[in-house]
Structure 1
Amino acid sequence: MTDVAGAIDYDVLVVGFGPTGAVAAGQLGRLGHRTLVIDRLTVVYDKPRAIALDHEIFRHFDNMGLTDAVSPYIEPFTASEHFGVDGQLIRRIDMVAKPYPLGYTPSMVFSQPEVEAELRRHATHFSNVRAELGVELLDLVQTSDRVEARLKDSDGWHRSVTVRYVIGCDGASSTVRQIAGLGLEDLIFDEPWLVVDMRVNESTLARLPQCSAQFCNPARPVSFLIGPNNHRRWEIMLLPGEDAREMERPDNVWKLLSPWITPGDGELWRAASYRFHALVAADWRNGRILIAGDAAHQQPPFIGQGMCQGLRDATNLVWKLDRVLRGVSSDSLLGSYTIERKQHVIELTGKIKAIGQSICERDPAAARRRDAQVLADGGGKPLLLTRQEIIPPLRAGCLADHETPARGSLFPQPRIATGSAVRLLDEVTGSGWRGFIDGRSKDAAAMLSLCAECPDMFAAAIAPAGAAAPNTLEETEGVLANWFDRHGVVAAIVRPDHYVFGTARNVTEFGGLLREIDVRRRDVPAGLNKISDHRMERTP
């Protein structure tokens, strides 16, 4: 397509068709926006890289209509057991107990090549999404109302397309980030590791650990992960003086795996050396150019959140971009993207670094002190944590001005009785802006009436079986009732990405939230994002 008489070819150009780019393109397609997605590679990479996802991400897959397509390649994530210097169990990281707060298994493992292929198929089934593979981005030139993208096709031809916005999902060495001049900040973590993926013979699986494990041995720290089916992964710390490329050779890999497995026990699928980094972009936006996924941040893999972070980026950005493209919010709403996602990445990376530094301790005396401290923190027993408590909420951005209980956290997804069937909340309400009210509250009807003044918001009162009044949805497991009770609130306003905008303890507070929400989602006060203020001046 070419720009004729001022026409703009596409609403959005997505650069990079990995998981983050595919989710962004699929969500934009579902919302009706003309989208071009390009990638330098012509096929999905056939080796596993990311291996973990969580219930927040699976909820988005479900909202996109992808659960049937991706479920065959996904399994529950086993607990991760951490073993100290002398092989003793010092810590166990598991998932929260049933009833699951979002309606799905909280932690999962998956096979990336197959899931990524399904994400691509989903994106390209929309008639308004065009995917072009083997296409390289050469340059981006911004004007007041568009970006001109200069591309090189697989046959070497150069051409240009015009778009309203660009999303760079093109990985750690992002061309988009470099063109936009978005620098990286070092979060101070840099360790060499070898990642080994195996397809293990059925007869060998029983001899391997039955949980994922961290062997916190100062002689050589090792992580062991149980992937789907017979996929097993070892992440092995490389020691000073070891050449990363040499350590990838099969003879060296088998020496490192010898405590667990031999060449006759399975197929060596992949061995790749990495430096586990902790980096974040200083700003995630330059005018009409934005970045997401590894282009915006890189973090150590110790609780398997790398891909999850990229898909959070995509979902956070797309609902805001949708409002801007439809003309119902100003371009300034996009300023909240950096605010929300950068702080979340920094906070989560800090927690991951702390776990990683504990695992990576190479001094034997310090490692023994670590073991003793972790056990002491557990009251003399192995310390028990959940992966879910490690994930922080949003702290600032497009949220209620005043701190309220659960503001910025993920809203739960109870199971709702609908006639003879039980369905998850999002199936009943959709995933737009929603007002949820405790159906047990005496003010439930009054709060529902207030929601009628917000025409683009779905509103519902929800209560457990036996407490549900007329016009109230009935939940089957008490998940939401417990959530309301725990936070001492009777209502919540929830964003399209399922984060809580704000909560209310009574009808007066709820009315205040409803008055605030229309202003906040149309614009974001400039003072909230001083980093981006100078960017906003470039874009009306």
Structure 2
Amino acid sequence: MSETSLPGSAHYPVVVVGFGPSGAVAANLLGQHGIRSLVIDRQREVYDKPRAIAIDHEILRLFDNLGLAEAVLPYVAPFHASEHFGADGQLIRRIDTVPEPYPQGYVPTMVFTQPPVEAALRAHAQARPGVDVRLGTELVDLTATPDRVTLDLRQDDGMRRTITADYVIACDGASSGVRERLGIRLADLVFDEPWLVVDMQVNESALAKLPPNSAQFCDPRRPTSYIIGPGTHRRWEIMLLPGEDPRLAQTRERVWELLARWLTPADATLWRAASYRFHALVAERWRQGRVFIAGDAAHQQPPFIGQGMCQGVRDVANLIWKLARVLDGRSGEALLDSYEAERSAHVRELTTRIKAIGQVICERDPVAARARDARILAEGGGQPRIITRQEIVPPLATGLLADETDPARGRLFPQPWVETAKGRARLDAVAGAGCRVVIEDALARTLPAGILATARAKGLTVIAFGPSGAGPVAEADITVAECDGVLRDWFAGCGRAAAIVRPDHYVFGTAADGPALAALIDAFTLGLTAPALPAASLAHALS
């Protein structure tokens, strides 16, 4: 629901500041949970140039859960393999995707065109009952107390209003005004490099001039990334050298000079050229009382495996299912503390890995670059090694998770294709995406009476899977037959037969037998229903 003017005064359970990708996903998730919310953004229109260019299967799975997949898929394409070339132009390694059957039901890594995808996210949120979107509206001030947050808002026509909220989620970008008002500092993970990002729409007749795969040219003279986007969209990320003027670098004349080895002005239309400093920054705090920060407001990372937007979407997917439980009284405030614990650690680990990749790419010393090339080739036994992007993204390491000895805790749970009466479907389309127990058919049929009934009574959907034609499991909500053995192989790989899966698709923990599963269900429900923070603690957090 969207209106042109602000209400005279109002209270909302949640206010989202910022309607970019993270804020739009947050709005959609809030609407899906039936939580009344206000979303504000200073800008009335989606920025019409591409910025983010990559998403992964975890993010598209979430879009599908929101009913958005069909709207965004026309603007999405598989991410081509990325070939890394060394100081002397030789292939030194290849970053590719895992083969089919894909573990999340989608191609693991994709490229996309941001403006129409962002517009689709916005339109879907605006159509949801209870989601109140106010564009052309900025946050002037914010005051938090232990029981509510007060926001002073101003429309672009000058009209002012005061709104109150139970919680605020700030998705207001790298220069976040909310983060600044809260006095939250950014920890520097020590990566600061000047780069030029160039987006081109290449003429069909000129595509053959370009590399057939995405590439990292690890050339110490000028490190450069080349990315194949959807359709004829091609991106170059070009490192600027000491003394080069970032403003001059983004002029049309200089852009064409830098791309001369690939294209001429007759071959393509310049879509965007922008100079950036690639940073590795993470907020020291992600929550202050009833106010949370997410997306670029909480972290910034170099773009070398295309995880910037993915990280922001993971933030809000992690936070909002927990916020929904707190707002409807199923969980206490303490559950919200796991947001920062989980996401900050995950972002720091992934950013550290991305930074290490960036440092390899950005090596400017020719002698060190050749030593790097030799080392990377040696790791592959003298041949270019193939690694997958999915190896780079870590599991969750801390937070609402089972014991550290659990082999699958914090991992992203698979989504196989399953058989239904109407044909093949992805698991989430059949079973939903709430709190789930997923269990092998063979174990489910031999469990002591009542374990699965207890899980259902505690709000977990029980999903049994097994071979085709095995028949339903009596105490399961859903019994499915998977098509490609994805779940079978996943459980075999961790030596378990049951898993508790959170609404954000991360594994709480796994079990091999009935007693272990009963204990796991108890541990999960205990974690979900931890008592609320005492008022004194919340007040301290706000101070």
TM-score between the two structures when normalised by the length of structure 1: 0.95
Tell me: CA distance 1:47–1:3, structure 2 relative to 1, closer, same or farther (3 Å). Answer: closer
- 2:99 aligned residue: 97
Deviations along 1:366-397, one digit per CA (max 9) or x if unpaired, are 00000000000011100110000100000110
Q: Does 1:485 align with 2:486?
A: no
Secondary structure, in 3 states, of the residue corresponding to 2:439?
Answer: strand
Shift of 1:327: 1.1
* Alpha-carbon contact 2:145-2:539 (below 8 Å) kept: no
* Alpha-carbon contact 2:302-2:355 (below 8 Å) kept: yes
CA distance in 1 between counterparts of 2:502 and 2:452 reads: 15
* Alpha-carbon contact 2:400-2:527 (below 8 Å) kept: yes
Shift of 1:414: 1.1
Structure-to-structure mapping, 1:240-319, within 5 angstroms: 240-319=242-321
CA distance in 2 between counterparts of 1:448 and 1:49 reads: 54
CA distance in 1 between counterparts of 2:39 and 2:86 reads: 46
* Alpha-carbon contact 1:335-1:524 (below 8 Å) kept: no
For 1:34, which of 33, 36, 41 is the aligned residue? 36
For 2:468, which of 465, 480, 485 is the aligned residue? 465
Secondary structure, in 3 states, of the residue corresponding to 2:447?
Answer: helix
Shift of 1:106: 0.5
Deviations along 1:250-308, one digit per CA (max 9) or x if unpaired, are 11000000000110001000000000000000110000000000000000000000000
Structure-to-structure mapping, 1:420-431, within 5 angstroms: 420-431=422-433
CA distance in 2 between counterparts of 1:194 and 1:61 reads: 30
* Alpha-carbon contact 1:448-1:461 (below 8 Å) kept: no
CA distance in 2 between counterparts of 1:468 and 1:253 reads: 63
Shift of 1:403: 2.8
CA distance in 1 between counterparts of 2:186 and 2:473 reads: 54
* Alpha-carbon contact 2:333-2:532 (below 8 Å) kept: no
* Alpha-carbon contact 1:223-1:236 (below 8 Å) kept: yes
* Alpha-carbon contact 1:151-1:158 (below 8 Å) kept: yes
- 2:223 aligned residue: 221
Q: Percent identity?
A: 58
Secondary structure, in 3 states, of the residue corresponding to 1:278?
Answer: strand
Shift of 1:207: 1.5
* Alpha-carbon contact 2:87-2:220 (below 8 Å) kept: yes
* Alpha-carbon contact 1:36-1:132 (below 8 Å) kept: yes
- 2:511 aligned residue: 504
**Matched residue type, 1:119:** L
Query: Which one is further off, 145-154 or 301-310?
Result: 145-154
Q: Does 1:65 align with 2:67?
A: yes
* Alpha-carbon contact 2:332-2:532 (below 8 Å) kept: no
CA distance in 2 between counterparts of 1:420 and 1:326 reads: 35
Q: Unmatched 5+ residue regions in structure 2?
A: 1-5
For 1:76, which of 75, 78, 96 is the aligned residue? 78
Secondary structure, in 3 states, of the residue corresponding to 1:452?
Answer: helix
- 2:3 aligned residue: none
Tell me: CA distance 1:11–1:470, structure 2 relative to 1, closer, same or farther (3 Å). Answer: closer
Secondary structure, in 3 states, of the residue corresponding to 1:459?
Answer: strand
Secondary structure, in 3 states, of the residue corresponding to 2:407?
Answer: coil
Q: Does 1:520 align with 2:527?
A: yes
- 1:159 aligned residue: 161
CA distance in 2 between counterparts of 1:129 and 1:232 reads: 36
Q: Does 1:353 align with 2:360?
A: no
Shift of 1:536: 6.8
- 1:209 aligned residue: 211
Shift of 1:142: 1.1
Count how many residue pairs are aligned between Structure 1 and Structure 2.
530
CA distance in 2 between counterparts of 1:538 and 1:343 reads: 20
**Matched residue type, 1:104:** Y
Shift of 1:209: 0.7
Shift of 1:419: 2.0
Shift of 1:445: 4.5
- 1:184 aligned residue: 186
* Alpha-carbon contact 1:2-1:160 (below 8 Å) kept: no
- 1:404 aligned residue: 406
Secondary structure, in 3 states, of the residue corresponding to 2:122?
Answer: helix
TM-score between the two structures when normalised by the length of structure 2: 0.95
CA distance in 2 between counterparts of 1:483 and 1:331 reads: 34
C-alpha root-mean-square deviation of aligned residues, in Å?
1.8
Tell me: CA distance 1:181–1:444, structure 2 relative to 1, closer, same or farther (3 Å). Answer: farther
* Alpha-carbon contact 1:324-1:330 (below 8 Å) kept: yes
Deviations along 1:463-488, one digit per CA (max 9) or x if unpaired, are 23376775642111000000111100
* Alpha-carbon contact 2:146-2:539 (below 8 Å) kept: no
Shift of 1:107: 0.5
Shift of 1:350: 0.7
Tell me: CA distance 1:440–1:85, structure 2 relative to 1, closer, same or farther (3 Å). Answer: same
**Matched residue type, 1:506:** D
Tell me: CA distance 1:60–1:496, structure 2 relative to 1, closer, same or farther (3 Å). Answer: same
Query: Which one is further off, 108-117 or 132-141?
Result: 132-141
Deviations along 1:476-513, one digit per CA (max 9) or x if unpaired, are 10000001111000100000000000001111110001
Tell me: CA distance 1:510–1:368, structure 2 relative to 1, closer, same or farther (3 Å). Answer: same
Q: Unmatched 5+ residue regions in structure 1?
A: 527-532
- 1:387 aligned residue: 389
Shift of 1:139: 1.0
Secondary structure, in 3 states, of the residue corresponding to 1:206?
Answer: helix
Secondary structure, in 3 states, of the residue corresponding to 2:355?
Answer: helix
**Matched residue type, 2:365:** D
Secondary structure, in 3 states, of the residue corresponding to 2:209?
Answer: coil
**Matched residue type, 1:135:** T
**Matched residue type, 1:246:** L
* Alpha-carbon contact 1:37-1:130 (below 8 Å) kept: yes
* Alpha-carbon contact 1:437-1:447 (below 8 Å) kept: no
